[in-house]
Amino acid sequence: MAWRAGVDIGGTFTDIVIVADDGETLLWKENTTPERPERAIEEGLTNVARELDLDLRTFLGQVSLFVHGSTIATNEIIQRRGPKLGLVCTKGFRDVLYFRDGFKWDRYNPRLERPADFVERHLRVGVAERIGPDGSIKVPLDEASVREAAAVFRHHNAGSIAVTLLWSHINPRHEQRVRDVLREELGDVPIMLSSEILPEIGEWVRTSATVMSAYVYPASNDYLRRLEGWLAASGLACQPLIMQVNGGCATVDQTLKIPINTIGSGPAACPTAALRVGQRVSARDMIAIDMGGTSFDASLVKDGAVLHSRALMVAHQPIGVPGAEIHSIGAGGGSIAWIDSGGALRVGPHSAGAKPGPAAYDMGGAEPTVTDANIVLGYLSPDAFLGGRRRLRADLAKQAIRERIAAPLGLDVPQAAAGIIRVVNENMVNAIRVVSVQRGIDPGPFLLVAGGGAGALHAGRLAVELGIERVLIPAEAGVISAFGMTVTDLKYDYARTLHTASPEPAIDRVGRLLGELEAKALDDLEHSGFSGERVQLRRFVDARYRGQVHELVAPVPAGDLDREDFQTIADTFHSLHRERYGWSAKEYPVEYLHWRVTGTGLIERLAELDFRLVSPRSASEAARGTRLAYFEESGGLADVLAFWSNEVPTGAEIFGPALIDGATTTIVVFPGQRLLADGKGSFLIETGTKHPAPAAGEPIDVGEGIPREAM
């Protein structure tokens, strides 16, 4: 038996998904250990092996694919706990980071604070040199000025260094020599070159990406090498792969060449997972959500493709590299409810995290959270959490909400808890609108794929607010990003700058450049174990109308290029421009800036169950009892049916209100909604009322019921 393993570290839980060759899966959640993230992985894999009746070494020896989503880089930036940085730049240009691009992200806020720089000004040191936009050397590199910069870094104990010289993306010779001199002077201090991190035009973005890479490299290198060593010593049969922001994965060595690629690496797997599970209902247009303990991530899959962007930021700094377009907010199960100075109820962005966690965790947390509200409202069962592995304290959840929210606002506890849920739902609806409505896309026809441990608790309500008719809760919902890692492909991105334009593009030069990038991609993929039919190469170019600042990414045909191919590229750009901005100008010349190649190592696909093959049937015999839960449509508190997700049979048809308890997530089916089960842990909710529910008061044998701990 061979296994695939996906491991995603979240703010509260570390998720592990194990997929066998025959498609059978094992889902596991382990408490995240923020001080030593790898410890949760070690403990989780040990527990998973025990569940499979294997020792750890035997289990890891049968793992053929191991993909890990790391939070190290993101946390280093957000928490500002990286090393002291040094920056080498062209003399006279050390304030590129300060001036940014001249815009504010909230441009109408006159009191907006400028974010602190990641490199102190006295550690931004200019060196004498100048390369022109054509790559010619205008001023030779003064190596003495480089050694003076090294002395400054040595004096201030700089732990990592970024090098960003003007036009180095056209000619990297000066940057490469600066690195050589710095190594002579400073030994093994990490050094990142902009010509290797982001060889593209745009001083600020290129500098930012290089600085961010230098900032996260030391911690990323220490963590990944430590994890890699432990896995090898424990018997892992394959090399571990790391999830990238582009939605693919890469080897540890390749990852550390461009560390910025691990920013948001966990959430980047969610749209990939949605693309995969959407096949179960033949969907190609999906909105994917991942609501965990700390954050809520929303992304869009359109026409069977994950949307990507080159404008991604973290801590208001551009990362430059292309990434899956994901909008994240501080709205998770651990998000804290609070009352602002004006007396308004707020939720998030602060989180109780893994420790102390929500009040119901009984680990010292006293602040009311979204999880506590879901317990008080009866949606989340205290005795079913993590499949019963952890019992939650409903009394502590109720106490936290009463003291911090209900009493100050003059509400009873259920009303206060319902208010918390309404506020966090509105926050999440707005996040989904960012990736849909604000792009001119109506979310109504899309399938909502609900992921994360808390996602299915809220998805039915979010769908109604957005006019979405169908919600898919896959069997892997509670660990959706970790699952996405088991089905993602290896992906390497390459880019070079060559400025040319229609109607007379430099066809031969472009062809040679793309050939070089493709050769590099093939070589790297082969070293990573992919060749022949398991390799796919795709080409793109950043294009714009002459005089524009921003570009759109257009596909480039394969093979030798000719004038007809360039006309195809231009026509595609015009279409993309009209789709994005509502207009195009075919009479205008099109400029081409960055030529890109994406090399993909294809992972073998597994079969999927099709919901179309499922015939509806009654599910009343699968109910485990009733639970008192709060639904405004039902007038407040009411007894509703509850089910164990693993006992709901194929084709089971359940009408809301109802609750489905599982080991990694809980599903709330709201009044007027219908749920259909595939018998293997996945559920489809229809939010409309075209399917009549059973008559009110119809007797159903549900046994002795479930204790009403929360009320």
> What's the CATH number where 238 sits?
3.30.420.40
Q: What confidence category does residue 615 fall into, taking pLDDT thresholds of 50, 70 and 90?
A: low
For residues 363 and 375, give the distance between their C-alpha atoms in angstroms, rounded to a whole number: 16
For CA atoms 602, 603, 606, 608, give the dihedral sign.
negative
Number of domains in the chain: 3
255 and 151 part of one domain: no
Domain containing 95: what range?
77-221
Q: What confidence category does residue 115 fall into, taking pLDDT thresholds of 50, 70 and 90?
A: confident
116 and 189 part of one domain: yes
The answer, yes or no, to whether residue 699 has pLDDT greater than 80, is: no
Q: Please state the rounded mean pLDDT for residues 605-610.
A: 62
143 and 266 part of one domain: no
Give, in order, the Cα–Cα distances in Å from 568 to each of 541, 590, 591: 12, 12, 14
For residues 269 and 25, give the distance between their C-alpha atoms in angstroms, rounded to a whole number: 17
244 and 121 part of one domain: no
Q: Is residue 99 part of a domain?
A: yes
215 and 86 part of one domain: yes
Q: Give the mean pLDDT of the chain.
A: 90
Q: Is residue 709 part of a domain?
A: no
Q: Please state the rounded mean pLDDT for residues 307-336.
A: 87
95 and 45 part of one domain: no
pLDDT higher at 696 or 490: 490
Identify the pLDDT of residue 698: 40
178 and 247 part of one domain: no
pTM of the model: 0.86
pLDDT higher at 623 or 258: 258
Q: What confidence category does residue 484 fall into, taking pLDDT thresholds of 50, 70 and 90?
A: very high
The answer, yes or no, to whether residue 711 has pLDDT greater than 60, is: no
Identify the pLDDT of residue 394: 93
537 and 523 part of one domain: yes
Q: Is residue 424 part of a domain?
A: no
Q: Is residue 651 part of a domain?
A: no
29 and 46 part of one domain: yes
pLDDT digits (tens, 9 = 90+) for 499-532: 999 989 999 999 999 999 999 999 999 999 899 9
Q: Are strands 658-661 and 636-644 parallel, antiparallel or unpaired?
A: parallel
Joined tokens for residue 224: 């990944």
166 and 253 part of one domain: no
Q: Is residue 574 part of a domain?
A: yes
Q: Is residue 423 part of a domain?
A: no
Share of the chain above pLDDT 90, in %: 67
**Where among 221, 254, 289 does a domain terminate?**
221
Q: What confidence category does residue 72 fall into, taking pLDDT thresholds of 50, 70 and 90?
A: confident
Q: Which residues, including other chains, have CB under 8 Å from residue 351's CB and lie 6 or more apart?
A: 11, 12, 293, 294, 295, 330, 332, 334, 335, 336, 369
Q: Is residue 291 part of a domain?
A: yes
Cβ count within 10 A of residue 144:
11
Q: What CATH number does residue 129 fall under?
A: 3.40.50
Check: CB of residue 454 under 8 Å from CB of residue 291: yes
The answer, yes or no, to whether residue 176 has pLDDT greater than 60, is: yes
Q: Please state the rounded mean pLDDT for residues 427-441.
A: 92
Q: How many angstroms separate the first and last alpha carbons of the chain?
A: 47
pLDDT digits (tens, 9 = 90+) for 10-32: 877 899 999 988 778 888 988 88
**Where among 466, 487, 508 does a domain terminate?**
487
186 and 83 part of one domain: yes
pLDDT digits (tens, 9 = 90+) for 636-691: 888 999 998 888 888 888 998 999 998 888 999 999 999 998 877 889 999 984 44
For residues 627 and 381, give the distance between their C-alpha atoms in angstroms, rounded to a whole number: 9
**Where among 549, 570, 601 does a domain terminate?**
601
Q: Is residue 117 part of a domain?
A: yes
513 and 560 part of one domain: yes
- Helix residue ranges per DSSP H, 187-319: 194-197, 203-233, 252-257, 269-277
pLDDT digits (tens, 9 = 90+) for 254-278: 999 999 999 888 889 999 999 999 9
Q: Please state the rounded mean pLDDT for residues 480-509.
A: 93
The answer, yes or no, to whether residue 696 has pLDDT greater than 80, is: no
The answer, yes or no, to whether residue 352 has pLDDT greater than 90, is: no
Three-class SS of residue 133? coil
Give, in order, the Cα–Cα distances in Å from 200 to each of 60, 266, 376: 41, 26, 53
Identify the pLDDT of residue 607: 61
> Cα 596–599–600 angle (5° rounding)?
140
Q: Please state the rounded mean pLDDT for residues 545-556.
A: 91
Residue environment code for 653-665, b if the CB has 16+ CB neighbours within 10 A, otherwise e: bbbbbbbbbbbbb
Q: What confidence category does residue 601 fall into, taking pLDDT thresholds of 50, 70 and 90?
A: very high
User: Residue 690 burial (CB < 10 Å; 0-12/13-18/19+)?
Assistant: exposed
Long-range contacts of 605-611 (CB under 8 A, 24+ apart): 605/487, 606/19, 606/23, 606/487, 607/23, 608/276, 608/277, 608/279, 608/280, 609/280, 609/678, 609/680, 609/682, 610/279, 610/280, 610/281, 610/282, 611/280, 611/281, 611/676, 611/678, 611/682, 611/684
Joined tokens for residue 101: 């691009």
Share of the chain above pLDDT 70, in %: 94
Q: What is the Rg, in whole angstroms, of the alpha carbon atoms belonging to the chain?
A: 27
